[in-house]
Amino acid sequence: MIKKQRNINAGAVILFIIFSLLFFVLLFRFISIQVTGEAGGQPVAAKAQSLYERDKILEARRGTIYDRNGEVIAEDSNSYKLVAILDEELTTDDEHPRHVVNPEQTAAKLAGLIDLEESEIYSKLSSDLKQVEFGTAGRDLTLQKKKEIEDLKLPGISFIQDTKRFYPNGLFASHLIGYVEKQEKEDGGTETVGMLGLEQSLNDILTGSNGHFSYEADLWGYLLPNGDEVIEPAKNGQDVYLTLDKSIQIFLEDAMSKVDEKYSPKKMIGIVADPKTGDILAMAQRPSFHPKTREGIEDTWRNLAVEDSYEPGSTMKVFTLASAIEEGVFNKNNKYQSGSYKVTERSPAIPDHNGGRGWGEITYLEGVQRSSNVAFAKIVNEQLGYETFREYLTKFGFDQPTGIDLPNETSGLIKYDWPLEKASIGFGQGSAFTPIQQMQAATAIAGDGSMKKPHVISKVVDPNSGKTMQKTSPENVGTPISDATAKEVRNILETVVSSENGTGYGRFNIDGYEVAGKTGTAQIPNPEGGGYLTGHSNYVFSFLGMAPADDPELVMYVAVQQPDIDESTNGAEPVAEIFKPVMQSSLQYLNIEPTEQPKAKSSQAPDLIGMSVKEAEKKLTEQDLEPVIIGDGKTVEGQFPGQTSSMLEGEKVILKTNGKTIVPDMTGWSLRDVLKFTKAANLKLNTVGNGYVMKQNLSSGSVLAEGDYLIVEFETPLEQYEREKMAKEQVEEEEEVVTD
């Protein structure tokens, strides 16, 4: 019993000594931390903060790019990034795993939904890392794609909300706007960086600064009741408003796409501007690219309107003519001998473009209309003089960049050493200029002598404060010619389009508007040696035009290089197929009043009752009237309007035959034509709206039954345009979703 007591006392002493040592160690540690403020070589406060303080990044949005009317051209939109959790320690319940359990099965299912091979996905999922991403294939996922992947219910597959750059108009001034890419940062995150066009040159303006939200929380991440909160809001990038007009840009893109498909040229350029302000309203080119998919970007990285210079050809004659008129040395009624001309006795002869045959002795006015090289060489050499002409090249801005607010602008190249070089510039050969230089110079012709600096940026707005940070005003960069000279030049250029002698006659005329302009056919230097390329299509075909001619609201330049055309097709055809529809649609869209109304021919309707259908159709066609057959018989029983009516050229004449009455397709018909049909078919009519037929309740091609009631919906041209525009945008949005 005594021995047992002794063992207990010895154990108590040992425990007392151990606890005493622990107490003194803890006491020493406590005093040490209190004195030094450190534990384990790290500040205690920092360690506590790392345990209890949470910090979240508040991402800034990249600035939005708008057109002049506030239509979105480029903006940030929500997207999702795909990640896979590989850390097994995160799974606390085997029945509900939080990491990738079966990499092989997961890879097989994901391969069908993201653009990545199954083997590559499997390789990532077999990594030793705790979490992996899937590169570009796993970024910028739409909400729809996210839901499709979530529906697979794959353990360990998660998403991080992100943003992507959205270009709602697709192929739209792509080299001007540019595109962005997400690049990896040193800390493992990503940043959006502009890679081309305005997205690149305005990257600092468009890029905002991220904010952050920090707060104190417990070990489980819950906010502590009295914890400190620090919120530094994100500062979004600044918004940029352009001078581009979305509608005019779409007109241009659509026309260029049609010509591209039809003629497959090597290059195309189109620019539309307001000559009174220098605003660029549209700028497009081919080759181009889609800013989202980058499809086509490998064909050219340059904005051809500002980064390419080439021999302009005969569009340069506009400025030679203006210089001569301003100096008072041009007399349009004076005559000269066309065909060929030698500047000096030793220099090669300058030929006219018809093989040097010329057109005999003609006036200088006819020389302008026919685009005679001889006329302009003589103007430079004999009337203006080389020194004076060189001064006008400077006045028109051809020896320096325009300073347009686009990146990488190049300047022209003026070769002005020898007499032949000096004379050749007068008709657009031997020296090279950019399209934007020609456009700037053209504003002096269209703007009554005042030359305006071109620009594409209207204003920059801070969305955080609503304050306008930058605003562009029209800038006059010279007055190379007078108001009177500009008007005289436009009068002469109008005859290039309206006169039968003019190189623009029949191709560049626009009903209701007078167009002043000049065609161009520039030779292309042979890249393999001296001289120029030969062949019917080896030229840069162009047109520089403005309308209305008396007071231009728009000036437009179009150039098409080496289109695929045969010997029977004039190179001006593809140019006209861009210029004419774009200029006409733009003038109408801007509500520019026509300068003249075309007078329609009128005639009296012939008596067609009792004739065969074929004979009646032939008779109407001969009078420029349009027959509409509403029966399946072979003999005309009725016509509307009758033979005593006065008919306008192109008007419809309804022919009722002795067979069953067939409902025609009335899309685009006027109310007048619909009334003719209802009278012929003895129908009751109910109409909705104004303008032209958009919809009808009776299907075209169906047989009319007795007692049928015709309901027709009308719409104005403006309503039609808006409807088609909305439909196109909806299709593009749907294609965007499908692509994503």
Q: How far apart are CA 497 and CA 514, in angstroms?
A: 9
Residue 223 has pLDDT above 80, yes or no: no
Q: How far apart are CA 350 and CA 465, in angstroms?
A: 63
For residue 69, the 8-state DSSP code is T
Fold of 246-589: Beta-lactamase (3.40.710)
The predicted model gives 64-83 an average pLDDT of 92
The predicted model gives 110-116 an average pLDDT of 90
Cβ–Cβ < 8 Å for 696, 710 = yes
In what order do the strands lie in the sheet containing 554-561? Answer: 280-286, 267-273, 554-561, 539-547, 516-523
Phi, psi of 298 (to 5 degrees): -70, -15
Write down the pLDDT at residue 47.
42
- 331 contacts: CB under 8 Å, gap ≥ 6: 364
**SS3 assignment, position 95:** coil
In residues, how long is the chain?
740
**SS3 assignment, position 335:** strand
Which of 154, 143, 80 shows the shortest CA–CA distance to 110? Answer: 154
61-207 and 246-589 share one CATH topology?
A: no
Reported in sequence order, the residue ranges of 331-399 that DSSP labels E, i.e. its strands, are 335-337, 340-341, 350-351, 361-363
Q: How far apart are CA 65 and CA 206, in angstroms?
A: 9
Q: What is the pTM of this model?
A: 0.72
- The model's pLDDT over 624-644, given as tens digits with 9 standing for 90+, comes to 888 888 877 888 888 888 766
- The model's pLDDT over 327-362, given as tens digits with 9 standing for 90+, comes to 999 999 999 999 999 999 999 999 999 999 999 999
Residue 576 has pLDDT above 90, yes or no: yes
Mean pLDDT of the chain: 86
Write down the pLDDT at residue 219.
45
Range 602-720 has CATH code 3.30.10.20: yes
Which of 398, 444, 395, 482 shows the shortest CA–CA distance to 276? Answer: 444
The predicted model gives 283-299 an average pLDDT of 92
Superfamily classification of domain 61-207: Penicillin-binding protein 2a (Domain 2) (3.90.1310.10)
Q: How far apart are CA 663 and CA 659, in angstroms?
A: 13
At 715, list the tokens: 């719409």
The three-point CA angle 702-706-707 to 5° equals 105
Peptide bond into 287 cis (omega under 30): yes
- The model's pLDDT over 479-535, given as tens digits with 9 standing for 90+, comes to 999 999 999 999 999 999 999 999 999 899 998 899 999 999 999 998 887 789 999
Going by pLDDT thresholds of 50, 70 and 90, the confidence category of residue 725 is low
- 602 contacts: CB under 8 Å, gap ≥ 6: 646, 647, 648, 649
Active site residues: 314
Q: Kindly report the three-state secondary structure assignment for every residue of 213-279.
A: EEEEECCCCCECCCCCEEEECCECCCEEEECCCHHHHHHHHHHHHHHHHHHCCCEEEEEEECCCCCE
Residue 738 has pLDDT above 70, yes or no: no
Looking at 14-18, 66-70, 233-237, which range is the least confident one? 14-18
Please state the domain extents for the chain: 2-55, 61-207, 246-589, 602-720
Cβ–Cβ < 8 Å for 642, 654 = no
Specify the DSSP element, H or E, that contains 38. Answer: strand 38-39
**SS3 assignment, position 633:** coil
In what order do the strands lie in the sheet containing 53-58? Answer: 53-58, 211-216, 229-232
* DSSP states along 539-578: EEEEEEEEESTTS-SEEEEEEEES----TTS-THHHHHHH
Residue 5 has pLDDT above 70, yes or no: no
The predicted model gives 453-471 an average pLDDT of 95
Kindly give the interhelix angle for 483-498 and 317-326, rounded to the nearest 10 degrees.
140
Q: Is the dihedral of CA 127, 130, 134, 138 positive or negative?
A: positive
Cβ–Cβ < 8 Å for 243, 281 = yes
